[in-house]
Amino acid sequence: MSYLMAEMTENPFFEAWATPFELPPFDRIRPEHFPAALDRGMAEQQAEIAAITGSPDAPGFANTVEALERSGQLLVRVSRVFDNLTSSATTEALDAIDRDYAPKLAAHHMRVMLDAGLFARIDALHRDRDRLALQPDQRRLLERHHLRFVRSGARLGPEQKARMAAASERLATLHTLFGQNVLHDEDAWRLALDAADLDGLPDFARVGAAAAAAERGLPGQYAITLARASIEPFLAFSARRDLRRAAYEAWAARGEHRGAHDNGPLIREIVGLRAEQARLLGYASYAAYRLDDTMAKTPEAAENLLRQVWEPAKRKAAEERVELAEASLADGLNEPIAAWDWRYYAEQVRQQKYALDEAELKPYFVLANMIEAAFDTAGRLFGISFVERRDCPVYHPDVRAYEVRDQTGRPIGLFLHDNFARPGKRSGAWMSSYREQQSLDGEVLPVVVNNNNFSKGDPTLLSFDDARTLFHEFGHGLHGLLSRVRYPSQSGTAVRRDFVEFPSQVFEHWLAVPETLRRYAIHYKTGERLPEVLLQRLLAARNFNQGFATVEYAACAMLDLDLHRRDNPEGLDIAAFEKDFLARIGMPPEIGLRHRPAHFQHLFAGSGYAAGYYAYLWAEVLDADGFAAFTDAGNPFDAGLAARLKAIYSAGDTADPMELYRSFRGREPAIEPLLAQRGLAAEAASQPG
């Protein structure tokens, strides 16, 4: 592939940035700048690695590990901009570069990880680590680097290394294609509606549908898209069962349409290559390989946790189904409820059981106020403040920038908030960084971004679940912003996969603190605060529909483990596998998987959560138990507990996760708060022994 190269002209990546917090000058960066910058970044890091391995001096921590930490700075800077833009504001030109460079970047990474000379120096230091007088963060950095090299194949023979590298390169291409296929289906589909099709939809859903239609060139009409913030309210409120079915089936079918965007063949190849890599490294399966470097340690431990909630969740969901069936009969539905019915009748039952109507609640959850609630909570817990900066360059008009300051007013980072769904932005919610905190050669402040996919309105109104998502991602953001580490590889969220969700999930609890709701849940029209009776109903209803929520999540986590525990996935028929798996676990037919394989981006648009989707539940054990400490103290803002919790957010990967948790909690976590939090305690207690 050829590009209009920017080598001969001004390329912003080849200069210092005088912007606030050295933000990328987005207005000057064009797609054609990336290939030249990525090429130079890879070449520079290769030269830096060669300088380390070619040193005549004996291996030392400074000339090997710290030199490795300093390597690749241009490549990191360019990659962070590129990766963020392809997720949040992609174009056909960026997608083409992504397809071209994903395997090149993977090959470069493997060249570093399989460099025999570099590993020899790290291995020598690792053997001598007891005699090197290292600080605790340095010793952990050395041990983690050594383990990363070993797990990448540094001890393999030449032929095995070549296979490992080839598999990694091919996987990078497949991951990129998988994500682009899902985004294609999400951008391509919409359900166009006329006013006559809106029966049951509350005002906020109609406003969102009108905005989505206008954005897609359908002025005067309404449209439902496959963004979760669009389709879930439609499934919960639309009285048109035929339209609910059409929307649900399109949502469930993302990524599995025959033709150029079919993810089925990609999944088969991805799973096969991962299994091959695991075998090369001496593991029985890819799941065994991935979990060996987690808090869980084994697939059996992760599965055991999931099984502890699975049967109680199914019993809870069965009770919920009875209530929904009664509501559907009263509504004139004379057949079993289907997956496109559950949310609709659940909303009706919730209104009847708790006198709680999401359409009544939503006007109190204004996006701007929920952002202020998150900022205020962070301030009260951790002593930080957020000041909007309108002089910062941003990559899209939706993005807002905030300078983050400590108690003395000193800047500690920059926070970018990108909250709205739009074409060219992948679905879901996530946190990432344009720059990570570290102090190896002077203090480098982080630039953190939170992405959500809310439907834009005037004002934008959130459901309680939307607000919880905002708090969740903000918890990840705080993990990056509060980081206080020396080395880049230990910064912020660079922790084990089944620990990284703890800082985000524990922060969600402060949304439901009555003090927070009383202060920030304000009606957008009247200015009235959330009435106390409504607040109490909201809190009472938090466990409503938790059987459904737990089943749809836990089934995905078990599917992930089952798929990646296969020692030989050759000839995998993913559709047949999914059908067989759901039958084996007794999946209730009226509850669909939260993520079906063909659009399960956690697993197949990258390897981050592959064989690790259980991590959300593992972290929920920690977050439920952790917040219980504040409940027991009788103060959700207890200063001593907040200081110990802040130490976790600040530590990055400088210590073992369980050690960090024990320092905060004073003991290891218990599962009982999780079961109570999900409303499953009674079902778990009634389980046959």
Q: How many angstroms from the chain centroid is the CA of residue 90?
A: 18
Alpha-carbon distance of 630 to 374, in angstroms, equals 18
What share of residues in the chain are helix, strand, coil (percent, to 5)?
60, 5, 35
For residue 262, give the nearest of 575, 559, 569, 557 by alpha carbon.
575
- The CA distances from residue 131 to 134, 136, 386, in Å, are 8, 13, 45
Alpha-carbon distance of 188 to 177, in angstroms, equals 16
3-state secondary structure 165-210: HHHHHHHHHHHHHHHHHHHHHHHHCCEEECHHHCCCCCHHHHHHHH
Alpha-carbon distance of 53 to 64, in angstroms, equals 8
Catalytic, out of 186, 403, 473, 578: 473
The phi and psi torsions of 404 (rounded to 5 degrees) equal -105, 130
Alpha-carbon distance of 550 to 296, in angstroms, equals 20
Alpha-carbon distance of 575 to 589, in angstroms, equals 16
636 Cβ contact partners less than 8 Å away, ≥ 6 residues apart: 509, 510, 513, 515, 630
How many alpha carbons fall within 13 Å on the CB side of residue 624?
16
Residue 216 contacts residue 226 (beta carbons within 8 Å)? no
For residue 405, give the nearest of 368, 433, 378, 430 by alpha carbon.
378
For residue 413, the cross-strand partners are 404
CA torsion sign for 418, 423, 425, 429 is positive
Report which residue type is found at 128.
D
Could you confirm whether 473 is annotated as catalytic? yes
For residue 680, give the nearest of 548, 553, 546 by alpha carbon.
546
Active site residues: 473
